Amino acid sequence: MMAVISPLKQSADTHARNPGMALDLDVLDRIRVNKSAVERRASTLSGRRSVKKTHQAAWLLKAVTSIDLTTLSGDDTAGRVKRLCAKARQPVRADILDAAGMENRKITTGAVCVYHSMIETAVEALDGSGIPVAAVSTGFPAGLNPFDLRVKEIEASVAAGAKEIDIVITRGHVLTGNWRALYEEVKAFRAACGEAHLKAILGTGDIVTLRNVAKASMVAMMAGADFIKTSTGKEGVNATLPVTLVMIRMIRQYLEMTGHKIGYKPAGGISTAKDVLAYQIMMKEELGNDWLQPDLFRIGASSLLGDIERQLEHHVTGRYSADFRHPMA
């Protein structure tokens, strides 16, 4: 008889939003990153920790609830977005959930992420589901549009119904060490968001060093970011475990400094169930169970959900199915 899957308990979003703080350059000056130690810790993670069988299935179902199901293509259409929203409402096939003893549990993705032009379509398609719409903004993916236009884009996306805004920072501020300019930029973007949560995309593949990643993470949080996010998914290098380790240790330092919990979102290149388990394990070990919940952990992905669903089907049937049985849209 198939064991019943019991996913990790899901907590409500009860922590206070990050109000930000004054830019403290002394904190930035004290930031150090031991690259060799970071890489060693990240590379040995999968060998030291693993989850199997029913436990793995539970972790994968938890991962589903943290996915920002994303479509950011030049050929996006209203029909594609509606189909993606339908998948967000029912991310795992009903027969798989039934076989796993999960037929009475509501499992949805964490959000649906789209361009501004698709916000109203997504909001309508998700009506009544409780799934928020996230919009990429501020001249995504380069973030080099005129500043006033980037602010207006945020305001327009919030007015259209987006509850989360994924902004792109100016990477040049990081590369030149202009932390004041980065702070003022993110602070202005946070103000434009109003009640919508702000996820600050650092573009970690473009800002060269792990120390830059650490400092940019800290500045974004000081400026009021609710989440810090690795990448747009369009860079040559996107989310990696070493970058993740650096960013979440900055989240831990900010928590110790201020008492405020900041979310984390890796994006780009996380396409398999094995990949996402490594990120979940790192979040649990470094920050604790609170950061396994969708209010503090999101994964920017599209194809990942298909592989998770395929692994879950293998769990309940003992057989691997063809990819076409798990379409995203």
Query: Residues with catalytic annotation?
Result: 166, 229, 265
Q: What residues contact 39, with CB distance under 8 A and at least 6 apart?
A: 242
C-alpha to C-alpha distances, 240 to 39, 168, 304, nearest whole angstrom: 10, 18, 15
Spatial separation of the C-alpha atoms in residues 268 and 29, rounded to whole Å: 30
Neighbouring C-beta atoms of residue 172, cutoff 10 Å: 14
Q: What residues contact 44, with CB distance under 8 A and at least 6 apart?
A: none
H or E element at residue 54: helix 53-64
Neighbouring C-beta atoms of residue 269, cutoff 10 Å: 19
C-alpha to C-alpha distances, 304 to 219, 238, 278, nearest whole angstrom: 30, 15, 13
Spatial separation of the C-alpha atoms in residues 222 and 117, rounded to whole Å: 30
The secondary structure of residue 135, as a DSSP letter, is E
Spatial separation of the C-alpha atoms in residues 301 and 233, rounded to whole Å: 9
| Alpha-carbon torsion, ordered 198, 8, 306, 136, to 10 deg | 0
C-alpha to C-alpha distances, 78 to 114, 125, 156, 270, 329, nearest whole angstrom: 11, 10, 19, 25, 11
Q: What residues contact 81, with CB distance under 8 A and at least 6 apart?
A: 71, 112, 114, 118, 121, 122, 125
Query: Angle at CA 97, nearest 5°, toward 94 and 99?
Result: 110
How many residues belong to the chain?
Answer: 329
